[in-house]
Amino acid sequence: MIRRTLLALGFTLPGIALGMGPAMAQFDPLTLKPIVKAVREGDEEKVRSALLKGESPNQIDSNFQPLLMVAVLAGHIAVVETLLKGGAFPDTLDREGNTSLTRAAEKGDVDMVEILLARNAKVDAQTRQGATALSIASRRGYAEVVRALLARKADPNKADFTGRTPLAYARQAGKPAIEALLRKAGARE
């Protein structure tokens, strides 16, 4: 019964692997591994220890989120850095099609955005709706995140699937400072 349910969700047993963008994330649905618990708790030392014992940094938790994204959402900077140094893929997608970069931009966490960009996260990766980290940060008015993304050559004219660009989102949200940053970077009407 469990096997059938997992197969219906796209899993295979044993050594379960779930296709998550360019990388394969590993998941054990029957037990909560120590690395998962350590990531959730922000225990960088236990995460490092698990990686040294051969645990994959590209596993997903029981909520089907990549461990890197769990750490990003929780704001555990040291854990994020450890996972990335341990080989975590920065562009792995969650169930909704978000990358860790889009989630960090959504939170307005400029430090996390800069860490991910330093590890070559795709600056213009799009969600299932076509939103980029720049359009998300522009809509929410996170000027420092917008600056960090533009410094890494984020495309200020990349439209989502509704045709709206970061400039359109900034204008719609009433964020003139963001509009000015985007125009300076080459955003067009």
Q: What is the CATH number of the domain that holds 160?
A: 1.25.40.20
Final residue belonging to a domain, choices 89, 110, 135: 89
Q: Do 81 and 5 reside in the same domain of the chain?
A: yes
Mean pLDDT (the chain) is: 87
Q: Do 79 and 139 reside in the same domain of the chain?
A: no
Final residue belonging to a domain, choices 67, 89, 111: 89
In which domain, by residue range, is 39 found? 1-89
- Looking at the predicted structure, is the pLDDT value of residue 120 above 80? yes
- Looking at the predicted structure, is the pLDDT value of residue 6 above 70? no
Q: Do 47 and 126 reside in the same domain of the chain?
A: no
**What are the tokens at 47?**
């995460």
Residues 6 or more apart in contact with residue 59 via CB below 8 angstroms: 25, 26, 27, 28, 33, 35, 36, 66, 67
Long-range residue pairs from 115-123, CB within 8 A, at least 24 positions apart, any chain = 115/77, 115/80, 115/81, 115/84, 116/72, 116/80, 116/84, 116/90, 117/148, 117/149, 117/152, 119/84, 119/90, 120/90, 121/90, 121/91, 122/90, 122/91, 123/149, 123/152, 123/153, 123/154
pLDDT at 180: 96
Confidence of residue 189 (pLDDT cuts 50, 70, 90): confident
Q: Do 158 and 105 reside in the same domain of the chain?
A: yes
H-state helical runs in 86-187: 100-107, 110-118, 133-140, 143-151, 166-172, 176-184
Q: Do 171 and 96 reside in the same domain of the chain?
A: yes
- Looking at the predicted structure, is the pLDDT value of residue 31 above 70? no
Final residue belonging to a domain, choices 34, 60, 89: 89
Q: Do 52 and 79 reside in the same domain of the chain?
A: yes
Could you tell me the pTM of the whole model? 0.82
**Residue for token pair 């996260």:** 121
Q: Do 32 and 104 reside in the same domain of the chain?
A: no
DSSP summary character for residue 133? H
How many domains is the chain partitioned into structurally?
2
Q: Do 31 and 114 reside in the same domain of the chain?
A: no
Confidence of residue 17 (pLDDT cuts 50, 70, 90): very low
* Peptide bond connecting 14 to the previous residue in cis, omega within 30 degrees of 0: yes
Q: Measure the CA–CA gap between 21 and 93, rounded to whole angstroms.
A: 6
